[in-house]
Structure 1
Amino acid sequence: MKFTRRTLLAAASAAAMLAAPLAAEAQNLPRNMRMVIGSKSTGGDTYQNSAIVAEALSEKLGINIKVDAVGASEAFKALGRDKRGTTIMIFHDQSYLGNLYGVSGYDDPFANYAVGPTVAINPGNAYLVPADSPYQTMEDILAAAEAGTRVRVAIQPGGVSEIGFSALKNAAKLRAPGSEENIVAVNTGSQSDKNQAMWDDLADVINGSIQANEQFTQLDPSDEKAMRFVWITARPGTLEQAPEAGMGGTTRDDMLSYASPETSVPVSDSEDFTFDKEFFFLFNKDMDPEVIDAIDGALAEIFEEGQIQERQKAAFFIPNYLSTEDARAHLTQKRDTYKTVIEDIASGS
């Protein structure tokens, strides 16, 4: 059989397509994608995590993906307008918690958008007290509420910051019905606002994070900005995946001592409340399913290769890839669990 230059080129092209099937799929993708995120900060965990994922996807699919920190409201609007697949989104549990709390601009993401794969967990959601606080543990805080002492908790209402506060009120109610009224919210904005509320003696407890607040836990206790962790909401199984050295001067074992079951904030008579802040994709609900499949397939290969996990762990994220199908089932169940906690508090039952 005689091989012409044309047939040789065709054979080489076919072999390349078989060797890199995602590159073939990428031909159907927009060459330029905008990845909007539910944060306006380019220094926060949402941007940091999204940038790691966007870079890996760009390289795998051979397209350009730009992370755009526009904030939740604008991100959802941009996603809702674009059926072509040129706009995709990464956000975290705030996307459905905001809806459950009735925050303006938060539609039900499961009804109005297509929930996609998960990519990472930030295990750092935490609650802290001043270094000189009389409250050494969460048990002390719940006991104080039971004794009639008003405990002020600084949060950013309507999402990840508030869900632990709701769980704390629920735990107080389980322990001594009526004592939950002594767990009161001090509604603030960003993490710096919550920190300042503590320093101005406007809050006894604040919601924070390992990443943002660990540095203050290393200060001399006499420093007016010094803090102590009292609760980390992540599941122990999540924290156990963190580097043994932990972060800063707080080791992984230290972190585990602030998490369930060592630190117990009950959500029922038999179960502690836990919360992992998970990052996942959101797509326009009318977007071509083949585009979603291409992104999902690329992520599966990226996580199978293993390099992205090292980058995530270096930034204190826990790698957490779940396919679109598995992620939707998992996040729906998670939403329903926290919906019950929120409704129980709202109804006073």
Structure 2
Amino acid sequence: MKKLIKHAIAFSLMALPMVAMSADKPNFGNIRVVIGSKSTGGDTYQAAAIISEALAKKLDTNIKVDAVGSSAAFSTLKRVGNGSTIMIFHDQSYLGNLYGTRGYYDIFNQYIIGPTFAINPANAYLVPKKSPYNTLDDIINAVGEGKEIRVAIQPGGVSEIGYSAVKNAIKMKYPGQESHFIAVNTGSQADKNQQLFDGLADMIQGSLPANEQFTRLPESDQKAMKFVWLTSTKDTIADVNKNGFGSLSQEQIFSYAEPNVVVPMDAQSNFTFDKEFFFLYNKKMPKDQIAYIDKALKEIYAEGEIQKTFEKAFFVPNYRDSADALKHLQAKNDKYKQVLANITE
């Protein structure tokens, strides 16, 4: 039976159109992928490197990932319309515009939205291990009682959206008390961590890869932390690596996310946030190149190896073609725009 299954899989893959050998393949020269981060050690670079390596093999060309930062990436992409430069970033692309952050544009008007390809399910919020607050509900109720809770975030995007959602939930449950939930605007993850170490913040935005190591420390250690919330949807969390992450089991990871932790967004729905990575293109990029990248990525995901690579790096594989990605990301943009309207009206 196993041999029959293997033969069936092999035959199905052989039946797929092979991009590298296709007669209608556009002319791809060397491709530069600019990313909205300056770090070569962060999740954006890691996700971009994984997908670019697979895409380079499929297109039979060289692809170089360049960590130039968001402003430079957007500006470069606007200037180069021949397909030799494309961009990879995540939800910060549109959230930065919603928050009015300098250097961000309305990506749905200024660029072409390409495929989504992965989710980082690790977006998190943490408190000191010695904190009297053990859950997000504890924090919301404390603010409702008039206690001041300071949250270290990097303003204007992925780091801030969860903070905004909790502030909105506080406003719904304890109208007028949301002013006690205070953003401490800072920079990198190291900066946010330091705010917690120094007692200048009661909670920080972080991530599983960046902060899990601190959850292993004893409560007496100044750097010891504990998770209170993972923002991803239950469907995304259900697809995380079955081995968990670091010292956290999959079951422990589940305990920090919905439905175990719920943040109301309005009377009918709860807030969740998946940090999704996707491609962006110049408006003038040749349509045949855009369509061919969609085709190439579809084949890459059909082959199944890219999923294993992403899962080992604690990403959740998440392929949508350009058309579906546009609809999906526009819906997310509208959803989070409403969250921000609720706390600023």
Same-fold call, TM cutoff 0.5: yes
Structure 2 counterpart of 1:147, which letter? Answer: E
| Structure 2: gaps (5+ residues) | 1-15
How do 1:316-331 residues align onto structure 2 when only pairs under 5 Å count? 316-331=314-329
Displacement of 1:172: 0.2
Q: Separation in 1 of the partners of 2:336 and 2:314?
A: 25
- Render the CA deviation track for 1:274-307: whole Å, top value 9, x for unaligned: 0000000000011111111111100000000000
Displacement of 1:19: 6.2
Q: Separation in 1 of the partners of 2:174 and 2:267?
A: 13
Match of 2:186 among 174, 185, 188: 188
Displacement of 1:346: 1.5
Match of 2:341 among 340, 343, 346: 343
Match of 1:175 among 169, 173, 176: 173
| Structure 1: gaps (5+ residues) | 1-17
Displacement of 1:171: 0.4
**1:66 equivalent in structure 2:** 64
Tell me, yes or no, if the aligned pair for 1:260 and 1:272 is still in contact at 8 Å: no
- Change in CA separation of 1:30 and 1:134 when aligned onto 2, cut-off 3 Å: same
- Render the CA deviation track for 1:58-99: whole Å, top value 9, x for unaligned: 001100000000000000011000011100011000000000
Tell me, yes or no, if the aligned pair for 1:22 and 1:297 is still in contact at 8 Å: no
**2:33 equivalent in structure 1:** 35
- Aligned with 2:44: secondary structure? helix
Displacement of 1:252: 1.4
- Change in CA separation of 1:26 and 1:162 when aligned onto 2, cut-off 3 Å: farther
Q: Separation in 1 of the partners of 2:253 and 2:343?
A: 28
Q: Separation in 2 of the partners of 1:26 and 1:19?
A: 11
- Change in CA separation of 1:221 and 1:105 when aligned onto 2, cut-off 3 Å: same
Q: Separation in 1 of the partners of 2:251 and 2:41?
A: 27
Q: Percent identity at matched positions? A: 56
Q: Separation in 1 of the partners of 2:310 and 2:267?
A: 36
**2:44 equivalent in structure 1:** 46
Q: Separation in 1 of the partners of 2:339 and 2:125?
A: 18
How do 1:108-187 residues align onto structure 2 when only pairs under 5 Å count? 108-187=106-185
Match of 1:228 among 200, 223, 226: 226
- Render the CA deviation track for 1:182-208: whole Å, top value 9, x for unaligned: 100000000000000000111000000
**1:201 equivalent in structure 2:** 199
- Aligned with 1:266: secondary structure? coil
Structure 1 counterpart of 2:264, which letter? Answer: P
Q: TM-score, normalised by structure 1?
A: 0.93
- Aligned with 1:290: secondary structure? helix
- Change in CA separation of 1:19 and 1:200 when aligned onto 2, cut-off 3 Å: closer
Structure 2 counterpart of 1:126, which letter? Answer: A
**1:15 equivalent in structure 2:** none
**1:7 equivalent in structure 2:** none
Displacement of 1:270: 3.2
Q: TM-score, normalised by structure 2?
A: 0.94
- Aligned with 2:235: secondary structure? helix
**2:4 equivalent in structure 1:** none
Displacement of 1:147: 0.7
Larger mean Cα displacement after TM superposition, 50-59 or 21-30: 21-30
Tell me, yes or no, if the aligned pair for 1:38 and 1:71 is still in contact at 8 Å: yes
Q: Separation in 1 of the partners of 2:24 and 2:90?
A: 26
Structure 1 vs Structure 2 CA RMSD? 1.2
Displacement of 1:25: 6.1
Structure 1 counterpart of 2:188, which letter? Answer: S
Displacement of 1:29: 3.0
Tell me, yes or no, if the aligned pair for 1:90 and 1:280 is still in contact at 8 Å: yes
**2:84 equivalent in structure 1:** 86
Displacement of 1:271: 2.2
Structure 1 counterpart of 2:302, which letter? Answer: E
Tell me, yes or no, if the aligned pair for 1:26 and 1:61 is still in contact at 8 Å: no
Q: Separation in 2 of the partners of 1:306 and 1:77?
A: 34
Displacement of 1:327: 0.6
Match of 2:238 among 223, 240, 246: 240
Displacement of 1:27: 5.0
**2:101 equivalent in structure 1:** 103
Q: Separation in 1 of the partners of 2:145 and 2:19?
A: 64
Task: Show structure 1 runs of 4+ deviating over 3 A.
Answer: 18-27
Displacement of 1:30: 2.9
- Aligned with 2:261: secondary structure? coil
- Change in CA separation of 1:26 and 1:100 when aligned onto 2, cut-off 3 Å: farther
